[in-house]
């Protein structure tokens, strides 16, 4: 059994701080996406039009998918050497910024924000792509 396998079996309190933080953030964002999705399905069903509801659903889907990605990023921080953690941290920051801009702008648009705010959606998408690319770089680096 190697050191990473031993670390996985040990108390999570001994896991790297980055791993614990990212797993907590990912789990928290996933829980929030469930709550926001339920709010949209039950609280907004008769308030917003079908197009706005589709924006809401897209925002919830992206939020949940990226929350799970951030959770896995945290798990990868347990097994990836700490020397690569700065790259993982940059990936997490890009994913979080992207998620805030992408899903946040869609939530706002669904609730009637000015259409000009829609420019933030593709910017958020680019940040999400950058986050995934930075994660790949962190994994492939030697």
- Encode the chain (142 residues) as per-residue pLDDT tens digits: 555 555 556 666 678 999 999 999 999 999 999 999 999 999 999 999 999 999 999 999 999 999 999 999 999 999 888 888 899 999 999 999 999 999 999 999 999 999 999 999 999 999 999 999 999 998 887 6
For position 14, what pLDDT does the model report?
A: 78
Q: Is the dihedral of CA 33, 38, 41, 45 positive or negative?
A: negative
Cα–Cα distance between 42 and 134 in angstroms, integer? Answer: 37
Cα–Cα distance between 37 and 127 in angstroms, integer? Answer: 23
Place of tokens 């701080």: 17
The full 3-state SS of 22-88, as one line of letters, equals HHHHHHHHHHHHHHHHHHHHHHCCCCCCHHHHHHHHHHHHHHHHHHHHHHHHHHHHHHCCHHHHHHH
Q: How many domains does the chain have?
A: 1
For position 13, what pLDDT does the model report?
A: 66
For position 4, what pLDDT does the model report?
A: 55
Using CB atoms within 10 Å of the CB of residue 114, give its burial: 0 to 12 exposed, 13 to 18 middle, 19+ buried.
Answer: exposed
For position 15, what pLDDT does the model report?
A: 86
Residue 89 sits in which domain range? Answer: 3-140
**pTM greater than the 0.95 cutoff:** no
């Amino acid at each position: 059994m190697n050191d990473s396998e031993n670390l996985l079996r040990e108390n999570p309190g001994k896991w790297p701080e980055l791993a614990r933080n990212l797993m907590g953030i990912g789990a928290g964002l996933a829980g929030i996406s469930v709550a926001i999705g339920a709010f949209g399905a039950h609280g907004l069903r008769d308030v917003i039009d079908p197009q706005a509801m589709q924006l809401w659903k897209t925002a919830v889907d992206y939020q949940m998918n990226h929350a799970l990605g951030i959770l896995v990023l945290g798990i990868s921080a347990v097994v990836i050497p700490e020397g690569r953690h700065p790259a993982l941290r940059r990936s997490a920051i890009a994913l979080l910024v992207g998620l805030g801009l992408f899903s946040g702008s869609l939530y706002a648009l669904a609730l009637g924000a000015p259409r000009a705010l829609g420019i933030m959606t593709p910017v958020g998408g680019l940040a999400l792509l950058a986050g995934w690319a930075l994660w790949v770089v962190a994994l492939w680096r030697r």
